Structure 1
Amino acid sequence: MTPAYSERCNEHDGAGGVMKGGNSQKAIEIFQRMKRDGCQPNTETYTLMINLYGKASKSYMALKLFNEMRSQKCKLNICTYMALVNAFTREGLCEKAEEIFKQLQEAGHEPDMYAYNALMEAYSRAGYPYGAAEVISLMQHMGCEPDRVSFNIMVDAYGRAGLYEDAESVFEEMKKLGITPMMKSHMLLLSAYSRVGNIAKCEDIVNQIQESGLQPDTFVLNSMLNLCGKLGQFENMEKVLTSMEKGPYAADISTYNILINVTDGLAFLTGWKNCSSRFLRRICA
């Protein structure tokens, strides 16, 4: 093997290597140089690049490479199809994601749980929870049982759409099937009720988290802090801050942004100077 040929072949591995190292721009440069040097990208190379553009929210470039593969008679495998499905999913382009999903099936590939979950996520991000519900029904019909990720996607899909009761129904169904909700599951349900300002339900969810042996993290406490602030419940904000001070989780940038936002709006609250809340006295001092 001549050195020149060896060097050209190594460009396939080079593009993948720098991608795994997080240097996407360098990977693009290597990919372009590869083609200029006459080294034809293979299935793995194209799939890596489609995935790269997908993560960069450049689905149009991912699709361009996908079509280029076809024109070059380069074999598409299930990973290639899923890289493009995920590219569209990240941008909430559910119709395009479903189109590629169908092409995957037409090519003789059997969708797995990961594939169905990706399509569900596309509908969730697009704001179509009932579309996601149809996917999970199809998934079950095809004998592919939903996992915790599947249910989390559905909780999030309904929560994003303000359908908090549907979100909770999915959450409860998950438990009935013996799938233990983890922190993310609780957080998604918390977000659903937080969107509609149901502080009592949010407090109940935080209690459920603690009762299940999980510890509320900074995200959970920030969600409660933000909701209490929006509703003007400063005594409850004080309680949340106290929990953060006593617990293992430190305040982060979001915590301070919430406090700044609430403090900035206090001047518009009628009679705020007469409020006896220790929280108000702390931040208005």
Structure 2
Amino acid sequence: MIKSLAKMRQFGAVWAIIEEMTKQNSELIGPEVFVVLMRRFASSRMVKKAIEVLDEMPKYGCEPDEYVFGCLLDALCKNGSVKDAAQLFEEMRVRFKPGIKHFTSLLYGWCREGKLMEAKFVLVKMREAGFEPDIVVYNNLLNGYAVAGKMADAFHLLQEMRRKCCEPNATSFTILIQALCSQEKLEEATRVFVDMQKSGCEADTVTYTTLISGFCKWGKIDRGYELLDSMIQGGHTPNQMTYLHILLAHEKKGELEECLGLVEEMQKIGCTPDLTIFNPVIRLACKLGEIRQGVQLWNDMELNGLSPGLDTFVIMIHGCFEQGCLVEACEYFKEMVGRGLFSSPQYGTLKGLLNTLLRADKLEMSKDVWSCIVTRGCELNMYAWTIWIHALFLNGHVKEACSYCLDMMDAGAMPQPDTFAKLMTGLRKLYNRQIAAEITDKVRQMAAERNMTFKMYKRRGERDLKEKVKAKKDGRKGRAHRPRWRRRSGGANLL
């Protein structure tokens, strides 16, 4: 309960539970209770509250020790409060005897923020306290250099590790390989990989995956396959991430058959594809117009016991309506709503689907989609209503747009000023004074309830509408006058 409430930032409730535990049985309270609280305060950037937990612990018969203090330092450093952690460390080092884990947390925190001078100062202090850096300390510093792009310093540190008889492990070499791959220094990354094997340090799945990822990222898919074969022959089992990097490289090139082959290969070796694998393949199938193949992949996914996630639904809906398969797009959208996955982040998908349907003159289908959202009890804010009303208006359905605007106000949502101005313009063209008067009266009433003057609301709407129209015209002019040639160095102007 404490973990769950702390995660929800219900800190008052957490302290209330601790009080109740004290009354029921004080022996229930141990250091871990307070460590959970510290970590949550730290992740919420409530540094003072996290530190105050140390002072509160004795009140509940639990004295903080080096372990608890180390957990606090670690939490602060991992959540971007390393400066506060360093200050606390200096203040508390008399009360709590520093250990190598305390120094490691600080060094990690400074490296994470790219403050390598501060990290090296911690290393000096660590040695002064009688601790020699272990492999974890060296790897943290190595990662700091690599992320900062200071590869010369990283290689010097690797040599120092060997001189100090702290042999680099698979993580050490993987850090260097990842940094070099990100800079497209693939041959250097390969040399580090060879050096690793020569030194007797066996590459693990993470190392192979990192190198495969690097080659695939820069379009060297064949080299990625060679490493995959070498990996399998060496007795290492590829995981989802290993295949994902190769798959994404094929997706980038539009190679659907190769993606399908990879999925089949994964299943043969017992590496069951998950949503991270199926989603890109379905996306590529839809992009290439192979909707049937996308549906087949969806069915295969469900046969494997996988439930399509939100991303899968969004991919399929966009793929279907972009390829003109409007019935299928609506069915997937309604299924997504039925599963309770529709919320405000999916308003972009809703907008795309509604506009596509209305442009194709499928008014009843678009109404059915909107009705599905309403009847399922989805939370609809003013932006969702605006998407629907604007889609109707822009596609010539002015009366329907006005009707839904009235529904919107009945639901307690007030139209944006430019929406009101747009509808009034459309109704004037239709000479429909009755609906115009009904909407205006409701808007006047809602404006009064919100302490707004109707006159200011109306002016703002007219102004916003003019600005949007002008911006559209300027955009069209800009595209029309854009030169169709570019000057190239050493050459003529080419059409």
TM-score (norm 1): 0.77
Residue 256 (structure 1) aligned to one of 273, 278, 293: 278
Distance in 2, matches of 1:23 and 1:41, equals 12
Residue 241 (structure 2) aligned to one of 197, 219, 223: 219
Residues 1:16 and 1:88: Cα distance change in structure 2 (over 3 Å): farther
Pairing 1:66–2:89 present: yes
Distance in 2, matches of 1:36 and 1:239, equals 59
The corresponding residue for 1:117 is: 139
Pairing 1:25–2:60 present: no
Distance in 1, matches of 2:227 and 2:57, equals 59
Structure ranking higher on relative contact order (CA contacts 8 Å, 6+ apart): 1
> What letter corresponds to residue 122 of structure 2 in structure 1?
I
> What letter corresponds to residue 283 of structure 1 in structure 2?
G
Residue 71 (structure 2) aligned to one of 48, 65, 68: 48
CA contact (8 A) 2:57 2:64 kept: no
Percent identity over the alignment? Answer: 24
Alpha-carbon distance, 1:201 to partner: 0.6
Distance in 1, matches of 2:81 and 2:261, equals 44
Pairing 1:175–2:175 present: no
CA contact (8 A) 1:54 1:86 kept: yes
Pairing 1:14–2:33 present: no
> What letter corresponds to residue 25 of structure 1 in structure 2?
R
Alpha-carbon distance, 1:186 to partner: 0.6
Residues 1:129 and 1:263: Cα distance change in structure 2 (over 3 Å): farther
**Secondary structure of the corresponding residue to residue 168 of structure 2:** coil
Pairing 1:191–2:213 present: yes
Alpha-carbon distance, 1:23 to partner: 7.6
Residue 244 (structure 1) aligned to one of 266, 273, 276: 266
Distance in 1, matches of 2:50 and 2:139, equals 32
Residues 1:94 and 1:160: Cα distance change in structure 2 (over 3 Å): farther
> What letter corresponds to residue 209 of structure 1 in structure 2?
M
The CA RMSD over aligned residues, in Å, is: 3.3
Residues 1:179 and 1:229: Cα distance change in structure 2 (over 3 Å): same
Alpha-carbon distance, 1:93 to partner: 4.1
Residues 1:222 and 1:22: Cα distance change in structure 2 (over 3 Å): farther
Question: Computing the radius of gyration over CA atoms, which structure comes out larger, 1 or 2?
Answer: 2
**Secondary structure of the corresponding residue to residue 179 of structure 1:** coil
* Gaps in structure 2 of 5+ consecutive residues: 1-21, 297-495
CA contact (8 A) 1:121 1:153 kept: yes
Q: How does 1:70-149 map to 2 (within 5 A)?
A: 70=93, 74-149=96-171
Alpha-carbon distance, 1:14 to partner: 3.5
CA contact (8 A) 1:18 1:26 kept: no
Alpha-carbon distance, 1:42 to partner: 4.5
Residues 1:218 and 1:23: Cα distance change in structure 2 (over 3 Å): farther
CA contact (8 A) 2:285 2:293 kept: no
Distance in 1, matches of 2:274 and 2:293, equals 18
CA contact (8 A) 1:91 1:125 kept: no
CA contact (8 A) 1:263 1:283 kept: yes
Distance in 1, matches of 2:273 and 2:279, equals 10
The corresponding residue for 1:3 is: none
After superposition, give the CA deviation of every residue in 1:111-160 in whole Å (9 maximum; x if it has no partner): 22222122112222334333321211221233322222222222222223
Residues 1:37 and 1:56: Cα distance change in structure 2 (over 3 Å): closer
Alpha-carbon distance, 1:80 to partner: 1.2
* Gaps in structure 1 of 5+ consecutive residues: 1-6, 267-271, 274-278
Residues 1:128 and 1:252: Cα distance change in structure 2 (over 3 Å): farther
Alpha-carbon distance, 1:172 to partner: 0.8
Alpha-carbon distance, 1:47 to partner: 1.7
Distance in 2, matches of 1:96 and 1:256, equals 44
> What letter corresponds to residue 82 of structure 2 in structure 1?
S
The corresponding residue for 2:174 is: 152
